[in-house]
Amino acid sequence: MSINSNFDSFQSLLSVDGNINAIIIGLITVGLITIITIMAYSFENILRGNNSTVKRLIFEIIEGVVLAISMVLVQHIFKALNSGDMSSWFYATTQLTILLYSLYTMQNRIIEVMNIIAPVYIFGYRVVTGYNSYLLLFTASIVMLALTVIYIYRHTDLILSSQWRFIILQIMYGALWWAIIWPFHKFTPYYTINMVVGFVAYMYMIRYLAKWIRDSFKNYNNLSEKVNYDELTGIRNRASFDQVSKEVFKVYKNEPDVPLTIAMFDIDHFKKFNDTYGHMAGDKVLRHVATHFEHQLFHKTTRGQLFRYGGEEFIIIFRGLRADESSTVISEIRQELIQDPLDYNGQELNINVSFGVTELKDSDVSFRDLFKRVDRYLYESKDSGRNRITVENKTISFERS
């Protein structure tokens, strides 16, 4: 009786250890999934503002490296928890979940390729050297898995929006992987079905976790836009400018060899648009000017950042450009604004702007010194007759420049 009792206690202890291991792996998987999700959405937000091909490639490589590290980390943790035994279905399910989840979340061709070549890398050598009789099954499974991965990559949004498509694709993906693994572990059909069902259930839990993270990001981005972006024009607002101006001053004040230029402008005789055509026309003028400058800044230089300071006043921060270089960009954009009048109820509204431009100097103790100077230059342009630009205390008419 005592021996049986001790044996039962021993089995109970093993069961507890197994449950603890499962909990540890589950928590680690959730942590990795969270890191992957945050990274994917952070990169997406960065690329939304500047979709550079080189930057996208760098981000895709980083995501591929993170996925590879995650797979290796899970492998080593399983080895440590299971004394080197890697035949657990939970281990395979965890690896598959991370691979497939990354494919859904990252929308990255490197991840797509990793999903296709992973089984070849893991099992290909073993099939060729010791399991020739399974070569046909292995090859067919790899081809079908590749087609499934390509379909998921190209139709991610459609799959995620359709419950039955999502379930079918998870079953196909899991079943094909188990078909690849089967020659090395000879699972029974019943056990294989249980593993596929477990994989689908695991993916469902991860999907809901990802949805929660994605919704949190969306809510954060919406809040960020409300706080940092002007509702009327869609560009960055005064609060954003106050924050950015402090940051750039700290950076560029300590880098005297790298220039920082600030330009301030407003719309000439803006009040006349409101008085003559109504406030809706004034709003359209503001949106037209903001959209024009933002688009043209993006096309001409990646170093200019536009803000609506208030009313009809706007500010551009040029990082790494001198005052004369910034003035050249400004003059070109202003000329294109003149050539693109606003059409309002069948009437062409010609819009002129006045500018002040100055560069950060060694004598500037704070950003306030720089701002006061550019504000003074703007008013010099306006006092001199408007439709002018004042650069470092030298006022030039746009018509003569």
Tokens of 33: 């999934």
Which of 203, 227, 251 is a domain's end point? 227
Are 84 and 203 members of one domain?
Answer: yes
Specify whether 372 is located in the same domain as 243.
yes
Domain range enclosing 194:
2-227
Q: Which of 200, 227, 254 is the last residue of a domain?
A: 227
Residue 232 lies in a domain: no
Instruction: Check whether residue 371 and residue 262 sit in a common domain.
Output: yes
Q: Are residues 309 and 374 in the same domain?
A: yes
Same structural domain, 289 and 388: yes
- Give pLDDT, residue 138: 87
Give residues with Cβ within 8 angstroms of 159, minimum separation 6. Answer: 104, 152, 165, 166, 169
- Given a cut of 50, the residues of the chain with pLDDT beneath it are 1-17
Give the CA distances from residue 183 to residues 127, 141, 186, in Å, rounded to whole numbers and listed in that order.
9, 12, 6
- For position 368, what pLDDT does the model report? 92
Whole-angstrom Cα distance, residue 134 to residue 114? 23
Q: Would you state the pLDDT for residue 5?
A: 46
Token pair of 278, please? 């109504």
CATH number at residue 302: 3.30.70.270
Spatial distance between the Cα atoms of 145 and 371, rounded to a whole number of angstroms: 60
pLDDT confidence of residue 223: 55
Residue pair 362/262 in contact (Cβ under 8 Å)? The answer is no
Specify whether the backbone of 89 is left (phi greater than 0), alpha (psi in -120 to 50) or beta.
Answer: alpha
Both 125 and 256 in one domain: the answer is no
* Amino acid in the structure at residue 248: V
pLDDT at 337: 93
Largest Cα separation within the chain, whole Å, is 107
Contact 203, 33 (CB under 8 A): no
Single out the residue in 186, 201, 227 at which a domain terminates. 227
CA 284 to chain centre: 31
Q: Which residues contact 231 (CB under 8 A, 6 or more apart)?
A: none
The answer on 250 and 211 residing in a single domain is: no
Same domain, 54 and 194: yes
Number of domains the chain contains: 2
Distance in angstroms (rounded) separating the CA atoms of residues 219 and 397: 46
Q: Tokens 């202890």 label which residue?
A: 13
Question: What are 301's two structure tokens?
Answer: 């230089």
Q: Over the Cα atoms of the chain, what is R_g?
A: 31
Task: Indicate whether 276 and 220 sit together in one domain.
Answer: no
